[in-house]
Amino acid sequence: MVSTISKQKLYSTRIDIAEEVRVKVIDILNKTLAATLDLKTQTKQAHWNVKGTDFYQLHELFDEMAGELEEYVDMVAERVTALGGTALGTARIAASESILPEYPLDAVGGIEHITALADRYADYGKHLREAIDTTDDLGDADTADLYTEISRTIDKRLWFLEAHLVNG
């Protein structure tokens, strides 16, 4: 199957980044957009379905995390369009293009949800760090900076999740 992401029209812009660089960066950003949308919906899945003694604390935490991801969806999509691309952010595209595994729909307890989200946040964080390096190497410091901003929060949230998993 040919990726939807790689097949799109580029619009003209006065941004002084070469077209061939913009095409590559837009492709990376759209992959990030798919993963971010997917992670947001998986985090909402945990928010809606968590049960157990830490229900309220985790319900609120997961909702806050999903809200942050919604902001990143917008930031990534707007960077795509600023570079002259088309933001590819439908649910179907996110489902087919996401780097993340499907969420375990049988997760119930807090630890199950925390573990599932920690795994996905770690994968997403790795993707972000790779995108920082790639976009910086391509000469797009602004996109690399956007990725750095997102990466800092994702690493902080991963720390929050992992703190729940320590048996101390």
Domains of the chain: total:
1
Q: What is the pLDDT of residue 167?
A: 86
Residues in the chain with pLDDT values less than 50: 1-2
* Residue 147 falls inside a structural domain: yes
Domain boundaries, position 115: 19-164
Q: What is the pLDDT of residue 7?
A: 63
Q: What is the pLDDT of residue 8?
A: 74
Q: What is the pLDDT of residue 157?
A: 98
* Residue 63 falls inside a structural domain: yes
Q: What is the pLDDT of residue 103?
A: 98
* Residue 13 falls inside a structural domain: no
Closest CA to 36 of 4, 1, 65: 65
Three-state DSSP string of 32-87: HHHHHHHHHHHHHHHHHHCECCCHHHHHHHHHHHHHHHHHHHHHHHHHHHHCCCCC
* Residue 5 falls inside a structural domain: no
CATH of residue 99's domain is 1.20.1260.10
* Residue 8 falls inside a structural domain: no
Q: What is the pLDDT of residue 9?
A: 85
* Residue 114 falls inside a structural domain: yes
* Residue 75 falls inside a structural domain: yes
pTM of the model: 0.94
